[in-house]
Amino acid sequence: MSLSDDLYRDIILEHHRNPHNYGLLDPADVNAEGVNPLCGDECAITLNMHEGRIVEIGVNPRGCAISRASTSMMTDAVKGKSLEEARVAIEQFKHMMLGPGSASDLPQEMEDVEALEGVKVLPARIKCAVLSWDTLLEAMKDAEALSR
Amino acid sequence: MNVQAVRNDFPILDRLFDGRPLIYLDSAATSQKPRAVVSALVEYYENYNANVHRAVYQIGEEATQAYEGTRGKVARFIGTEDTGEVIFTRNTTESINLVAQTWGRANLRDGDEILLTPMEHHSNLIPWQMIAAEKGAKLRFLELNADGTLDLSGLETLLTPRTKLLAFTQMSNVLGTILPTRDLADAAHAVGAVVLVDAAQSAPHMAINVADLGADFLAFSSHKMLGPTGVGVLWGKRALLEAMPPFLGGGDMIRQVWLDRATWNALPWKFEAGTPNIGDVVGFGAALDYLQALGMDEVRRHEVEITAYAMEVLSRIEGLIIYGPTDPQARGGLVSFNMEDVHPHDLATLLDRDHICVRAGHHCCQPLMRLLEVSATARASFYIYNTPEEVDALAASLLRAREVFSRVAV
C-alpha cells in the first residue's frame, strides 16, 4: 500500500472531503433518497428544475469515501443539463462502472469521474459508487412527472 | 493451546497472496474449516453417500449413523442427554424462525409482550416482529448502558405477566458483550416467560451447558464453529417441543399419513421435514470433535488473551474508537471500532490490500448502529487460529490506512 493510492486518488479524497453541491435544497422541486441496505450508505438528492433542466442540485451523501466522492462528481456531471442529457451522463457512467466501457470513453466534462474507474476491480464496492447515480434516476422520474 | 499446531490444520492459512499469508479476522461472520471437517465431507460423499432414516442397505445405515452421531455430539457439546431435544436446521436464523412460527403462533395472543434487547442481530428481531404483527403482540426492549452492557434495572418494569418470551443474544456480534444469561433467564421464568438464547456467537467460543444457562431454547450455527455452512441447531426443552406444532410439513416428519390428515413423528424428526443436509451435518460432527479435543475452556482462554491484546494495541491508535465493554473477560473474541475520518468500508478495502479480512457495515444490527450513532463499524473477530502477530499487522495496516486518508486535508 503506497501513499499515492490507485483507488483512493487525490481527486477522490478531495471530493469526499468537500463534496460539491453539498446540502439539500429547501424548497426543492424533487426529493429522492437512496439507501444501500447492505452497508447502510445513504444518499439524499434534491433538484430544482427549470424548463426541463436541472438548474440546481443539492446532495447529502452519508457513507464511505467512494460513495461520497461519486455523489459529488455526479452533481458536477448533471448540473445545468436537461433530463435527456443527464440520462446520457448516467448511461456513460454506468457503461464505465458496470459495462465494458472505460474511463477513456467519458466526455471531457466528466473527467473527474474517470478516477472512479479504479473501483471497477472491487465488485463489493461498485454499489457504493453507483448509489447516487441510481438515486438521481429516481429523482429524475419525479422531475419528469412534474413537467407533464 | 498450541496455536501453531492449530494453524497447521487449516489449509486456507497456507494460501499465499502475492507471497503473503491471509490474515483472517472475520470468524464472527464465518470461521475457517480445519482439514478434518473437509475430509469428513469428502469421506461421506465418496464412501457412504445415501439418504438417511429409510435405507435398509449398508451405506444408508452408515449415513444414518453418521448423521445421528452428530446429533449426539451436539447434545454432549451443550450438556443435554436427550438427543430428541436437538433439531437440525439450516442456520441460527432458521432455528429462531422455527420457534417464532410454531411456538409463537401457538402461544402468542393479542396484548402479549416479547422482550428483546437493542443489540439483537436482525435474525433475533425480524422473526419476532413478523409473528408479533400477526398475533397482535408487542415488542419491548431492555436498554443498554453506555459501556455496551445490558441495563438490568429495566427488568423489573419490563418483565410482567404479559411477557411471554424473553429472547436475547448470549454474546453480541457487534459489542462483544456477554450477557448474564442465567440471571436473565431466572427473572423471565419468575413471570412465566419462555427464554430463547441466540448462541450464534457464543457456542463457537465458550463452554455451554443448557441446564446452567436456564434457557428454554438455544440456537446456533455450524459454520461459525469450524463446521460447514447450511447447518444450524435448535435445542429446546422436550416439554415445549412436544407441545409445539410442526414447522415444515413433508417427508420424515410424519408418523402416519392419510389423504386428509397425518400424525407427527417423534422428536427431533417432527421438526426435520424432507431430506436433511446430511453431508454438512456429518462435517459438523468433525468440527465438534475438533473443538472438544481442544477443550472449550482452552478456546475461551486463548480468545480472552488475544482480545485483551487487540484492545490494548488498538486503543493506542489515536482517533480509533472501540465499542463495547472494556474488560476482555466480559466480552467475546471480537472488537468493533471506527477510525475518525475514515469510513469502515474504506478501512476494510485498505486492509484488504494487506490481505487482512475484517467486516465493515451494520453487522445485521441496524437498530444498534442507530443507538451508537454510527452508520457502520469495522469489526475484527478472532478464533483459535489467530495470533498476536496478526493483531500487530492489523494495527500497522490501520495506521497506513489513516496515512492514505490524511493526504488530503479536511
Check CB contact under 8 Å for A3 and B407: yes
Residue-level pLDDT at B376 = 92
Chain B: give the shortest CA distance to residue A54, in Å: 29
Residue B183 has pLDDT above 90, yes or no: yes
Q: Tally the C-alpha atoms within 13 A of residue A45's C-alpha that lie toward its C-beta.
A: 31
A-to-B residue pairs, Cβ atoms closer than 8 angstroms: 59
Report the residue of A7, A13, A64 to disrupt the B interface, i.e. the one with the largest count of B CBs within 10 Å: A64
> What's the pLDDT band for A40 if we cut at 50, 70, 90?
confident
pLDDT, mean of residues B153-164: 97
Write out the H or E segment, with its range, that includes residue A62. strand A53-62
Nearest to A64 among B345, B404, B409 (CB): B345
d(CA A124, CA A47): 29
* B400–A1 C-beta distance less than 8 A: yes
pLDDT at residue B102 tops 50: yes
Cα A87 to Cα B204: distance, rounded to the nearest angstrom: 51
Q: What is the rounded CA–CA span in Å between residue B368 and residue B89?
A: 27
pLDDT at A39: 73
Q: How far is A76 from chain B (nearest CA, A)?
A: 20
Here the cell at position B184 is 436473565
List CB contacts (< 8 A) between B403 and chain A: 3
pTM, two decimal places: 0.94
**ipTM of the assembly?**
0.89
Catalytic residue among B139, B254, B364, B371: B364
pLDDT at B409: 66
Interchain CB contact of B407 with A (< 8 Å): yes
**Backbone phi and psi for residue A44, each to the nearest 5 degrees, phi listed first:** -105, 135
Mind telling me how many Å the CA of B346 is from chain A's nearest CA?
6
Mutation for A interface: B18, B343, B377, most A CBs within 10 A: B343
From B16's Cα to the closest Cα of chain A, the distance in A is 17
Q: Which residues in B78-231 belong to E strands, given as ranges?
A: 86-89, 113-116, 138-141, 143-144, 150-151, 163-169, 194-198, 217-221
Name chain B contacts of A122, Cβ cutoff 8 Å.
349
Query: Which residues fall within 8 angstroms of residue A18, CB to CB, at 6 or more apart?
Result: A72
Residues 6+ apart with CB under 8 A from B45: B279
Residue A1 has pLDDT above 50, yes or no: no
pLDDT of residue A147: 74
- Measured between CA atoms, how close is B361 to chain A, in angstroms? 5
Ranking A120-124, B147-151, B343-347 by mean pLDDT, the lowest is A120-124
Q: Which three cell numbers stand for residue A111?
A: 473527467
pLDDT mean across residues, chain B: 97
Interface of A with B in 85-114 (CB under 8 A): none
For the cut 80, the answer to whether the pLDDT of residue B410 exceeds it is no
Alpha helices in B223-277 (DSSP H): 238-243
Q: What angle do CA B173, B175, B177 make, to 5 degrees?
A: 90
Q: How far apart are CA B87 and CA B233, in angstroms?
A: 6
Mean pLDDT of B305-320: 97
Segment B60-66 mean pLDDT: 97
Cβ contact (<8 Å) for A66 and B409? Answer: no
- B332-357 pLDDT, tens digit per residue, is 999 999 999 899 999 999 999 999 99
- The contacts of residue B8 (CB under 8 Å, 6+ apart) are none
Which residues 6+ apart lie within 8 Å of B377 measured at CB?
B174, B323, B336, B337, B338, B344, B360, B361, B363, B369
Q: Look at B361 and A40 and tell me if their CB atoms are within 8 Å.
A: yes
Instruction: Name the least confident of A56-65, A100-109, B242-251, B279-288.
Output: A100-109
Task: Report the percentage of chain B scoring pLDDT > 90.
Answer: 98
Contacts of A108 (CB under 8 A, 6+ apart): none
- Spatial distance between the Cα atoms of B351 and B357, rounded to a whole number of angstroms: 7
- By C-alpha distance, which of A70, A50, A141, A83 is closest to A110? A70
Neighbours of A102 (CB within 10 A): 12
User: Which CA distances in Å does B251 have to A92, B13, B263, B275, B336?
Assistant: 53, 41, 12, 8, 44
* Residue numbers of A between 12 and 51 with CB closer than 8 Å to B: 13-14, 16-17, 38-42
Residue A3 has pLDDT above 60, yes or no: no
- Tens digits of residue pLDDT in A8-35: 999 999 999 999 999 999 999 999 999 9
Is B365 an annotated catalytic residue? Answer: no
Find the residue in A nearest to B345 (Cα): A64
Is B379 strand, coil or helix? strand
CB B120 within 8 A of CB B90: no
Question: How many CB atoms sit inside 10 A of residue A134's CB?
Answer: 16
Rounded mean pLDDT, B107-134: 98
Question: Which positions in chain B touch A44 (Cβ < 8 Å)?
Answer: none
Contact B132, B164 (CB under 8 A): no
Q: Best mutation site among A6, A13, A36, A119 for testing chain B: the one with the most B CBs within 10 Å?
A: A13
B357 CB near a chain A CB, below 8 Å? no
The count of residues in chain A is 148
Cα–Cα distance, B5 to B112 (Å, whole number): 52
Query: How far off is chain A from B343, nearest CA to CA, in Å?
Result: 5
User: How many Å is the Cα radius of gyration of chain A?
Assistant: 15
CB B201 within 8 A of CB B172: yes
Smallest Cβ–Cβ distance between B349 and the set A13, A14, A122 belongs to A122
Q: Which of residues 359-388 of B touch A (CB under 8 A)?
A: 360-362, 366, 369, 375-376
How far is CA B375 from each of CA A35, B346, B360, rounded to the nearest angstrom? 11, 13, 10
Q: B170, B241, B177, B233: which is closest to B207 by C-alpha?
A: B170
